[in-house]
């Protein structure tokens, strides 16, 4: 079931209806970071109707951003499907071992019973599902900058992104 909405994970008409009623406030919820919901999201997002409903919501944010001009968005098909004409696209990845440890540390704060091997296996399953899904598969856009953060901490990753943006902007001016 999808928590308070009492919706089964495969009840796509209800999920699509819920997706069409999204607003930013409903997304500002720490519960959405839960591991079980991340797994469900990957499975549910394989449905074309769900993807289309969410695509409309995401694109509307770029037309009338809630916090001013422009947006920064992240997601597994952001640069290829959602915003294919974005000024700058950065495809960020890291080794699955590193990603698993990062996710494990995040989840450990609220789930003391979580196991690193379980987190790693869930990431591998999600990657396989997302890379191989029929609609909007996970892949870098042809014009995306590729950034592997396996050997970078969060500050170094942030600096690398800023450098890409600065270089892109400088090249665009020239």
Domains of the chain: 3-173 (3.40.50.300)
Q: For residue 1, what pLDDT is reported?
A: 42
- Which range scores top for mean pLDDT: 5-9, 61-65, 73-77? 73-77
DSSP symbols for 65-86: -TTSS------TTIIIII-TT-
Interhelix angle 96-108/116-132, nearest 10 degrees: 120
Q: Using CA atoms, how far apart are residues 131 and 101, in angstroms rounded to an integer?
A: 21
pLDDT, tens digit, for every residue of 155-166?
999 999 999 999
The model carries a pTM of: 0.77
**Predicted confidence (pLDDT) at residue 150 exceeds the cutoff of 60:** yes
Q: For residue 159, what pLDDT is reported?
A: 97
Q: Which residue has the higher pLDDT, 29 or 127?
A: 127
């Amino acid at each position: 079931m999808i928590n308070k909405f009492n919706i089964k994970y495969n009840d796509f008409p209800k999920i699509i209806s819920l997706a069409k009623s999204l607003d930013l406030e409903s997304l500002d919820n720490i519960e959405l970071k839960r591991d079980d919901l991340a797994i469900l999201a990957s499975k549910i997002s394989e449905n074309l109707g769900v993807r289309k409903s969410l695509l409309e919501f995401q694109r509307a944010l770029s037309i009338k951003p809630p916090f001013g001009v422009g947006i920064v968005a992240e997601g597994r098909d952001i640069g290829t499907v959602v915003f294919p004409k974005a000024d700058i696209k950065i495809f960020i990845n890291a080794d699955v071992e590193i990603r698993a440890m990062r996710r494990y540390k995040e989840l450990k704060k609220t789930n003391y019973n979580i196991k690193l091997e379980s987190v790693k296996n869930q990431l591998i399953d999600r990657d396989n599902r997302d890379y191989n899904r029929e609609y909007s598969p996970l892949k870098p856009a042809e014009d995306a900058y590729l950034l592997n953060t396996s050997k970078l901490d969060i500050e170094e990753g942030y600096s690398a992104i800023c450098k890409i943006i600065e270089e892109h902007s400088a090249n665009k001016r020239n």
